[in-house]
């Protein structure tokens, strides 16, 4: 009864909100894909994301990360949501995801409500794309138009999740190659790395560099040694040399629950948490990436506009459309 009551409330609200058509029709995804088939879609997703983030502010980063981890494996097809069943080995069990990815229950709740409002209509892949946008907006970040019409994968790729999702200790060269494989350029890499302005990371993701005796060489290029020394003491207090792998540290110690440009300020101060963050300024020997980091650190509006553009670009990685794949009834399992 609670679910039905919420649907009724949203139906009433929709009368006053109205809709707007943005259809293009030339590409595989369009802006008004569900205008007639499920006009309540965006309101349902937005409401549930806002409730989830209100209860747990960290959930905003988790939902954004779900979309990222989905798109980097076989494209944006909701393969990351599949549980192990039958011949499917879930991507959730892969190294970058196990005991790390969160937010599945939020997607389940949204899917349940959408199946009541417009059965068999909205793909789980489109839900992920919308939830990522609304998560960023809920924490003070930019919003953008999400192109829709994705369908859901009939399979998962455990090996792909282990292979294509960037590791927290990746070198700059590896990151550039990884993003290029997805059709994303260096500018997208620097921009999308800014998602680390909110959320937390496990000790397992950064402990090695915090206790590495050679850590000084990582920072000598930009003379951040002293700043990193004090930052390292804080991280060591959170993460002892052994054990407590799942203890958490904020990716951005300044404003960990807000989407802003402080991630780039942190990089310039030698306070990037992950090795894959730090390499943007320590391994960029040409200086072009450093210029982009400086630009975002000093102009939040520029970062927001660039982030919105890169998110749209990422959301268009190899979508399943037309008669391929399916619209899952339950995001965790293929239809029987």
Binding residues: 70, 73, 75, 77, 79, 91, 166, 196-197, 252, 255, 260
**Annotated binding residues for substrate:** 166
Which is the catalytic residue, given 47, 67, 69, 262? 69
Distance CA 66, CA 71 (A): 9
Would you give the distance in Å from CA 246 to the centre of its chain?
20
CA distances from 85 to 72, 100, 149, 163, 328 (A): 22, 20, 26, 22, 15
Q: Which residues are known binding-site members for Ca(2+)?
A: 70, 73, 75, 77, 79, 91, 197, 252, 255, 260
Report the binding-site residues for heme b: 196
**Which of these, 162, 165, 164, 153, lies nearest to 88 by C-alpha position?**
153
Q: Is 69 a catalytic residue?
A: yes
The set of catalytic residues is 69
């Amino acid at each position: 009864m609670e679910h039905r009551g919420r649907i009724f409330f949203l139906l009433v609200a929709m009368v006053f909100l109205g809709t707007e058509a943005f259809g293009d029709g030339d590409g595989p995804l369009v802006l008004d894909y569900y205008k007639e088939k499920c006009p309540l879609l965006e309101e349902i997703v937005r409401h549930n994301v806002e409730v989830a983030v209100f209860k747990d502010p960290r959930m905003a980063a988790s939902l954004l990360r779900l979309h990222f981890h989905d798109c980097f494996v076989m494209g944006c097809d909701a393969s990351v949501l599949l549980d192990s069943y039958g011949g499917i080995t879930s991507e959730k069990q892969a190294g970058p995801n196990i005991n790390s990815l969160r937010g599945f229950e939020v997607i389940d709740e949204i899917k349940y409500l959408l199946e009541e409002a417009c059965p068999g209509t909205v793909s789980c892949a489109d839900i992920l794309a919308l939830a990522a946008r609304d998560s960023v907006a809920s924490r003070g970040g930019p919003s953008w138009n999400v192109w829709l019409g994705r369908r859901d994968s009939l399979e998962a790729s455990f090996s792909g999740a282990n292979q294509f999702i960037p590791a927290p200790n990746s070198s700059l060269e590896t990151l550039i190659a990884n993003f290029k494989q997805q059709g994303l350029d260096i500018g997208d890499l620097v921009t999308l790395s800014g998602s680390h302005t909110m959320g937390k990371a496990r000790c397992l993701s950064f402990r090695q560099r915090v206790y590495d005796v050679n850590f000084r060489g990582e920072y000598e290029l930009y003379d951040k040694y002293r700043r990193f020394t004090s930052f390292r003491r804080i991280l060591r207090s959170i993460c002892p040399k052994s054990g407590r792998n799942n203890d958490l540290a904020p990716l951005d110690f300044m404003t960990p629950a807000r989407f802003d440009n402080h991630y780039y300020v942190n990089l310039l101060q030698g306070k990037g948490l992950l090795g894959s963050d730090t390499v943007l300024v320590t391994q960029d020997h040409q200086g072009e990436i450093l210029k982009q980091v400086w630009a975002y650190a000093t102009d939040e509006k520029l970062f927001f506009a660039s982030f919105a553009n890169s998110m749209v670009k990422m959301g268009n990685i190899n979508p399943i459309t037309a008669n391929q794949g399916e619209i899952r009834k339950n995001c965790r399992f293929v239809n029987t």
